[in-house]
Amino acid sequence: MKLKVVKYKNYGCMMESEETEDPYDNRFFWCFFELNSSEIINLFLAENYKNKKIRDIDYDFQYPKEELKTGKIHEYKFGKAEPNTREFSNEFFDWFDNLSPIKNLKENKKLHTFNGGGPTKEEIKCIKNFYDKNLLKKREKKTNLVFIKASPINEKKVL
């Protein structure tokens, strides 16, 4: 099955480094995607600055789900909060602030990137291509939950 993004929610920039005399700064963005395989994957994007100019951009892809040694599962769920509301921020930070330290996580190769797990190359490629094409230039814009319309099965290109 060819992977496709079926829905996403872009939180935009949720954190940034404090302004200091240091020439290096960072801004951190999050976007969550659901694929047609039902996997939910988050993209954590870091803009790295030197002297107030973007020096580079780092992408990190993870399953926003963790299994603790206690057996408890903590995972992101798409919410209905709208951008630029307190609920929108709360929706993100309810997930983020409850992430556990690595020492509390049960070893789970599929879920956890710290031990070689995490999204597959195909999942990463699908999301990165979608993000770069549709969201990178407008990554600041926070969105509602966006559903992607499926294209007709036997769609023919009209030249």
Exposure of 21 by Cβ count < 10 A (0-12 exposed, 13-18 middle, 19+ buried)?
exposed
Residue 157 domain-assigned (yes or no): no
- Each residue's pLDDT, cut to its tens digit, for the chain (159 residues) gives 899 999 999 999 999 988 778 888 999 999 999 999 999 999 999 999 988 899 999 999 999 998 899 999 999 999 999 999 999 999 999 999 999 998 898 876 666 665 567 899 999 999 999 999 999 999 999 999 999 987 655 443 333
| Residue 154 in domain | no
- Domain assignment of residue 18, yes or no: yes
Give residue for tokens 């079926």. 6
Q: Which pLDDT score, from 0 to 100, does residue 156 have?
A: 37
How many structural domains are present in the chain?
A: 1
- Residue 67 is predicted with a pLDDT of 87
Look at residue 137 and tell me if it is in a domain: yes
Query: Any residues with CB less than 8 A from the CB of 91 and at least 6 apart, and which?
Result: 79, 81
What is the DSSP code (8-state) at residue 71? S
H/E run at residue 39: none
pTM of the model as a whole? 0.88
Residue 158 domain-assigned (yes or no): no
Q: Is 153 domain-assigned? A: no
pLDDT at 114: 56
pLDDT of residue 150: 72
The parent domain of residue 63 ranges over: 5-147
Residue 7, SS3? strand
pLDDT given at position 106: 85
Classify residue 136: in a domain, yes or no: yes
R_g over Cα of the chain: 17
What pLDDT, on a 0 to 100 scale, did the predictor assign at position 112? 60
